[in-house]
A and B are shown apart, each in its own frame.
Chain A
Amino acid sequence: MLFLPELFLLGGSLVLFFVTLGEDKGTLAKNITIAIGLGLTILCAWGINNSGTMFFGAYAVDFYSQFFKLVIALGLTFVLLLAPDLKGVNTKIQAEYYLFMVLSVLGLVMLVSSAELLTLFVALELSSFALYLMVPMRDDTTGERKQMEAAIKYIMFGVISTGTMLFGMSYLFGLTGTTYFIELLPALQGMVGNPVALLAVLMVLVGFFYKLGIFPFHFWVPDVYEGSANATTSFIATVPKIAAVAIMIRIMTLVNPADSSWLVLILMIAAVASMFYGNLAALVQTDIKRMLGFSGIAHAGFVLLGLLAMDELGYARATFYIIGYLLMNLACFLVVCNVSVQGENVSRDDLKGLYKRSPFLALVLLVGMFALAGIPPFVGFIGKFMLLTSALQADHLILVILAALNTAIAIFYYLSVVRVAFTSDPEDRPDVEVGASTWAVGMILMVVIVYMGIAPNQILTMASQAMKVIM
């Protein structure tokens, strides 16, 4: 029973595999995948209080893992329902595309349950390789083979950071003689002042810095966001980041807080650099996906603010923030996916006069962008606010001021998107029809973004509860 969501995903991917043997089964595959997403969500919600270990303790099912699994399942479902059809991917390979998506989710679901370094590594690779394959599956619309460039960059940076992570894991094993988190934790806590232990933890963190797109491991982000199909980007930009934060928290707990000033300093520098780099670079972007990529780097910096507090509250707030980020980003990608006519990229000018062409999408865009910018009453505000509070509580005044400055910088580019959508004339751009499922997802996203913004307590309590399990 503990393994039911994973088995369900595995079964689902087998079904998809058989579907791929037929020709042009894109629609069928998509419907199956939606069923998988919904089924996974139900299974995860149903089993949220399960707990136990499997495979000789290498695989832990607890509230921590189940909580993140539920978020991942919801994220997958939203990504699938964002747009009525998969634009920009050849119909012949659409079935394979969904197969890889499900496999990637399987990897992520296993990742958050990993209680041991090697399991973690295998799960991470499973999710990553599926993503590496999804990127180049886009049609070559521009003639520049941008999707190939993106895929190469993605895999190269991915392999290097995974290698670094593996190197760090070997140190951890060398120091403690174990790969189990449950044994690593006390062993490492005892090694106060051991630079190798800190270095090892940092190297393992690098693997997830890459996933989250934290400076200086962010180089792939803009190109991959721009080069992938819109649906692929909306997946890469959201769901894997949830798992990345989950695992980063798990690894951070290994460090003895008494010994952490060194690590905190590095995280602080990474956070500030990510925020400034992301926000300043985003200012000059005209491609919406590329802009969201840079904004994602800046938001990853904000997540670090929560992590470097190194306590349960900080981790819970970082988790809250990344969940909010998932929702806000999905709202923006919903607009991108629907405005794009044939799966091409959406530039800022393509959004001109959106409030006349589709008032609903314009509203979703407004909520998504202002939420990302951190304007109340949306979730982006309360998330950012909590992170700033915990950082200031830990006496990082300069950090907080720099982060606040970044909020002011960031508003400029979010606002410029809203401005184009609301104050420009559509000229001769066509109206955008919105399907029922898109409408429903858009409504749900907006409601949840506002609800979490004014009543964050529930999710926050759940996140705190989850953190208690692993600390």
Chain B
Amino acid sequence: MELIISGGHLLSWLIFIPLIGAGLLFFTPGEENQRRLAFVVTSVNALLSLKLWSGFDAATAALQFGERFAWIPSLNIEYALGLDGISILLVMLTTFIMPLCVLGSWTYISKRVKEFMICLLVMETAMIGVFCAMDFVLFYVFWEMMLIPMYLLIGVWGGARRKYASVKFFLYTLAGSVMLLVAIIALYLANDHSWFIPDMMGKGYSMSFQVWVFLAFFLAFAIKVPMFPFHTWLPAAHVEAPGAGSVILASVLLKMGTYGFLRFGLPITPQATLALAPYMLWLSIAGILYGGFTALAQSDMKKLIAYSSVGHMGFVTLGIFVLNTSGVEGALIQMVNHGITTGALFLMIGMIYERTHSREIKDHSGLAYTLPIFVSFLTIFALSSLGFPGTNSFIGEFLILVGAFSHNKIIAGFAIPGAVLAAAYMLRLLQHVLFKGKGRTDISDLNFRECVTLAPLLILVFWIGLAPEPFMNVMHTSVEFLLNQVNASQAVAALAGQ
């Protein structure tokens, strides 16, 4: 895997514009100005990221927009950035979801607006950094840096049980990543003292080394995804986080775990991946079914969406570990879909919470009669979430299931009920919110700002649902290359065995 150095510093700008914005915010007086500034900064970043789309060469699997120079020479640590078909969609998802987060918390957050926006912007820096970093230390710095603003988002602006939720989130993620640190150092020593990630791939490490490193990766990434049985922090964090916090969690943070598997797990420890993939598949199935059944039993809308996330991310990990093209491509597009759809659902719950100060399903019945715009949006996003044909998630789940069936029919058979469960809990939610009872008349429908917040996500739901080709094209070469890396290791090992 090579890194194509580009003359510009596009990725650096994308990473550091939010941070610069956070610095400016520090000195900006007036809450309204602070909101506007945060919106401008995130929007500028979103527009700038369009240059990635136009400049991206889908024909090569190499890392593009590369930047590489020494950062801490005495430790060989470099500042290396790059982007390929696996990360480009995730970076763009991040840059586009952030302005919506700012819009979505325009009135939701009424106290300490400045600090809130600073946390959001620092989050953006860290998240884009994670997806672009090609030096392992740089990656780890961004990976851990995320914890502090996210902790504050939940802990300061969160709901009633925010203390419990924020601490649980922090401890889980940190405990998961300490062993990642040890694995990183071990890889560094095994690679002639280089932290450069592409250097670590395809080195044919011994099987036991690979297994240990893979397990360290697994602990860190499975907690982040979250895979069953490491998911318990997620509902707590989702429920207590403010609207924008939930959106960031669902749309971007969860993707880091699966991105970690794709970027590190598969190419760096291919043989361990092949050997342990069956276990990963069964854990994914467990997550799909567990998430689905638990979501069915929730009375709190946010909890319902949170458990549905566990199920959806189970589909993503299922797609990754079937290790074939349609599975991995489906997983990638499903990561984006989940970011769009679940992000939108969390935004909508935030909007209704502002009006009723409740997240209980029973407090929001019969809204079809009084809030027509709200329920229209809700219906579309809910249908998207359950994978209705014509919406984005259908494409993702379909590809994943195709991949799963061609890999192992029994495992795929277990995943099917997951899709049915998704329909069950989402339709139950819809039925309650839309038609049950008379409907409240004391609350107003969505205003213009809120419609503007949701509209881009709505467009993407149908765009990916009806014409996924442009999105699939971007990732195709990189996915093929990735799978070749994994399969080549098997051939190498077979040769060595003879």
Contacts and interface: CB of A to CB of B under 8 A. Distances in A.
B147 interface: yes
Interface stretch (B171-179, B292-300, B370-378): B171-179
Contact of A419 (B137, B140, B166, B175): B166
Contacts of A460: 72, 74
B141 to A, nearest CB: 4
B181 interface: yes
B170 interface: yes
A411 B186 CA distance: 23
A357 B175 CA distance: 31
A286 to B, nearest CB: 16
Contacts of B167: 415-416, 419
A199 B175 CA distance: 39
Most chain-A CB neighbours within 10 Å: which of B73, B115, B178? B178
Contacts of B142: 376
Interface in A372-416: 375-377, 381-382, 385-386, 388-389, 392-393, 397, 400-401, 404-405, 407-408, 411-412, 415-416
Nearest to B180: A404
Contact of A408 (B144, B174, B186): B174
Contacts of A407: 174, 178, 181
B182 A408 contact: no
A215 interface: no
B171 A457 contact: no
Nearest to A363: B115
A409 to B, nearest CB: 9
B140 A376 contact: yes
A408 B145 contact: no
A439 B115 CA distance: 19
A422 interface: yes
B118 to A, nearest CB: 11
Contact of B141 (A377, A389, A424, A455): A377
A400 B152 contact: no
B162 A411 contact: no
Contact of B155 (A393, A423, A461): A423
A1 B155 CA distance: 55
Contacts of B495: none
Interface in A453-471: 454-457, 460-461, 464
Interface string B378-400: 00000000000000000000000
Contact of A457 (B73, B175, B188): B73
Interface string A221-261: 00000000000000000000000000000000000000000
Contacts of A78: none
Interface in A267-305: none
Nearest to A455: B72
A400 B182 contact: yes
Contact of A404 (B151, B156, B182): B182
Most chain-A CB neighbours within 10 Å: which of B75, B115, B162, B167? B75
Given A375-B147, A376-B144, A415-B167, A422 B182 contact: no
A424 B174 CA distance: 22
A366 interface: yes
A355 interface: yes
B452 interface: no
A208 interface: no
Q: Is the interface of B mostly helix, strand, loop or mixed?
A: helix
A407 B167 CA distance: 16
A43 B170 CA distance: 45
Contacts of B137: 385
A370 interface: yes
A386 B73 CA distance: 13
B148 A370 contact: yes
Interface string B130-162: 000000010011101101100110011010001
Interface string A180-217: 00000000000000000000000000000000000000
Contacts of B179: 401, 404
B467 interface: no
B155 A422 contact: yes
Chain B interface size band reads 20 to 34
B420 interface: no
Interface in B165-201: 166-167, 170-171, 174-175, 178-179, 181-182, 185-186, 188-189
A366 B148 contact: yes
A461 B170 contact: no
Contact of B156 (A355, A382, A388, A456): A355
B163 interface: yes
B74 to A, nearest CB: 5
B152 A386 contact: no
A415 B175 CA distance: 13
Given A375-B148, A386-B75, A389-B185, A404 B155 contact: no
Nearest to B182: A404
B189 A392 contact: yes
Contacts of B189: 392-393
Contacts of A400: 182, 185
A416 B140 CA distance: 23
Contact of A412 (B162, B171, B185): B171
A407 B177 CA distance: 10
A389 B188 CA distance: 9
Nearest to A373: B174
Contacts of A370: 148
A411 B171 contact: yes
Given A393-B189, A400-B185, A461 B141 contact: no
Nearest to A424: B163
B155 A457 contact: no
Contact of A388 (B144, B163, B171, B185): B185
B73 A419 contact: no
A456 B72 CA distance: 7
A88 B163 CA distance: 33
Contacts of A464: 74
Given A381-B141, A404-B181, A415 B171 contact: yes
Most chain-B CB neighbours within 10 Å: which of A359, A376, A389, A456? A376
A353 B137 CA distance: 35
B69 to A, nearest CB: 13
A423 B156 contact: yes
B141 A411 contact: no
Contacts of A455: 72
Contacts of B178: 404-405, 407-408
A416 B167 CA distance: 8
B185 A392 contact: yes
B182 A423 contact: no
A408 B175 contact: yes
Nearest to B174: A411
Nearest to B75: A386
A389 B75 contact: yes
A175 to B, nearest CB: 36
Interface in A320-376: 355, 359, 366, 370, 375-376
A389 B191 CA distance: 13
Interface in B41-82: 72-75
A381 B178 CA distance: 11
Given A355-B156, A457-B74, A461-B74, A401 B182 contact: yes
Nearest to B147: A375
18 contacts: A370-B148, A375-B148, A375-B174, A376-B142, A377-B141, A381-B144, A385-B185, A386-B75, A388-B181, A389-B185, A404-B178, A407-B181, A408-B175, A419-B155, A422-B155, A423-B163, A423-B166, A424-B163
Interface of A: 355, 359, 366, 370, 375-377, 381-382, 385-386, 388-389, 392-393, 397, 400-401, 404-405, 407-408, 411-412, 415-416, 418-419, 422-424, 454-457, 460-461, 464
Closest 8 CB pairs of A and B: A376-B141, A423-B155, A404-B178, A408-B175, A408-B178, A423-B163, A376-B144, A392-B185
Given A381-B141, A389-B185, A415-B151, 15 more contacts: A375-B147, A389-B75, A389-B188, A392-B185, A392-B186, A401-B182, A407-B178, A411-B170, A411-B175, A418-B151, A419-B155, A423-B158, A454-B141, A455-B72, A456-B72
